[in-house]
Amino acid sequence: SQELEQSPQSLIVQEGKNLTINCTSSKTLYGLYWYKQKYGEGLIFLMMLQKGGEEKSHEKITAKLDEKKQQSSLHITASQPSHAGIYLCGAGDSGGYQKVTFGTGTKLQVIP
């Protein structure tokens, strides 16, 4: 079965600083998703990557899927308190992505 390891497990940054979260898979990644979860709430969809080398951006968040499709990174530029939360990467199965395996999560705190 596929396993996703996220690093770091937790992160505390000063507002305005950049940061990167990594997601490493034990197998080839198909349909890699990034979500954000606030404590006690549901998951907010951020981005989906499918092709090796693909990069997507939304506002100050950029996600990349490496060429070999076994690692993805999420980069936040000029972090703000609103970015605080738990970031989860998820990998779809090789078929139709229906069964998503989630990573261990990265807890981000942004200090004003």
Stretch that binds other proteins, among 13-21, 57-65, 74-82, 89-97 (CB under 8 A): 89-97
Please say which residue, 85 or 103, places its beta carbon nearer to other proteins: 103
User: Of 29, 35, 69, 106, which lies in the binding site for other proteins, with binding defined by CB under 8 A?
Assistant: 35
By the rule CB under 8 A, 45 interacts with other proteins: yes
Query: Which residues, other chains included, contact 95 with Cβ-Cβ below 8 Å and sequence gap of 6+?
Result: none
Q: Is 48 in the site for other proteins (CB under 8 A)?
A: yes
- One of 31, 71, 74, 79 touching other proteins (CB under 8 A): 31
Q: Pick the closest to residue 63 from 78, 50, 73, 51 (CA basis).
A: 73
CB-based contact 50:63 (threshold 8 Å): no
Contact flag: residue 42 with other proteins (CB under 8 A)? yes
Name the β-bridge partners of 33.
Answer: 48, 90
Q: Of the candidates 2, 43, 75, 107, which one interacts with other proteins according to CB under 8 A?
A: 43
96 counts as binding other proteins under rule CB under 8 A: yes
Q: Are strands 61-65 and 55-58 parallel, antiparallel or unpaired?
A: antiparallel
**CA gap 21, 6 in Å, rounded:** 7
Binding-site member from 63, 83, 92, 110 for other proteins (CB under 8 A): 92
* Residue 20 CB coordination number (10 Å): 14
